[in-house]
Amino acid sequence: MQCFPAKLLQGRKDGEGILTRSDIEDLILRVAQGNRAAFEALYDSTSAKLFGVALRVLKDRTEAEEALQEVYVKIWHNAGRYTVNGLSPMTWLITLARNTAVDRLRKLRRSADHTQIEERVVDPGIGPEDATIAASERSRLVACFGELPGDRAEAVRRAYLEGETYADLAGRFDVPLNTMRTWLRRSLLTLRECLTR
């Protein structure tokens, strides 16, 4: 493990600097050893992105703040497992943030009354992020989404970013549950084929 810039250890550096992948990896490895300075440096350099992700999923600042706190507590306790999971460091962190936010969102949905669920879920049409995703032509994923029939890509996107379940999606697209499963599994096959091409 190489050392990362010593200045990172010297305290809070709000919003400063962009770390490379190996910088972040080093920080995670140090966090796994219980290094508080590394933990703070990791928080300083990654929390804005993870907060953005939590906000995007939860669409509620208080919920997103609580989710973010939960995420970093998990990072502190699970950093030692990072080395074996095979993910790049930002993917690991973003995945933790996304999954934590989705778990929280699903709990909220379950506890919300029915009318609130309707308000929350029935949100048809294309949100701003659809437009930005469509605009980012660099992304292989977006290109491969283009190979799916229109609403199939939307179903994958909603599962990932809105935490929608098969039941949510079947309701949204007004198809039987098994049909939705079939659509989605086909979509995943197509995507994987395209992504590995």
Rounded to 10 deg, the angle between the 61-78 and 36-58 helix axes is 140
Q: Rule CB under 8 A: is residue 91 a binding residue for another protein? A: yes
Decide: is 126 part of the binding site for another protein (CB under 8 A).
no
CA distance 50 to 55: 9
- Name which of 28 and 102 has its Cβ closer to another protein: 102
Residues 22-41 close enough to bind another protein by CB under 8 A? 33-40
Q: According to the binding rule CB under 8 A, does residue 184 interact with another protein?
A: yes
Length of the chain: 197
Binding piece for another protein, criterion CB under 8 A, among 8-16, 19-27, 115-123: 8-16
Report d(CA 10, CA 4) in Å as an integer: 12
65 lines the binding site for another protein (CB under 8 A): yes
**Residue 20 sits in the site that holds another protein (CB under 8 A):** no
Q: Cβ-count burial of 193 within 10 angstroms (0-12 exposed, 13-18 middle, 19+ buried)?
A: exposed
Q: Does 89 bind another protein (CB under 8 A)?
A: no
CB of 95 to another protein, least distance (A): 5
Is 136 a residue that touches another protein (CB under 8 A)?
yes
Measured between alpha carbons, how far is 193 from 144 in angstroms, rounded to an integer? 9
Site string for another protein, 137-176 (x = CB under 8 A): --xxxx-------------xx-xxx-x-xx----------
Q: Closer to another protein at the Cβ: 34 or 119?
A: 34
Q: Please tell me the number of Cα atoms within 13 Å of 48 on its side-chain side.
A: 9
Binding-site size, another protein (CB under 8 A): 71
Q: How many CA atoms lie within 13 A of 66 on its CB side?
A: 10
Q: With binding defined as CB under 8 A, does residue 14 bind another protein?
A: yes
- Angstrom distance (rounded) from CA 67 to CA 164: 18
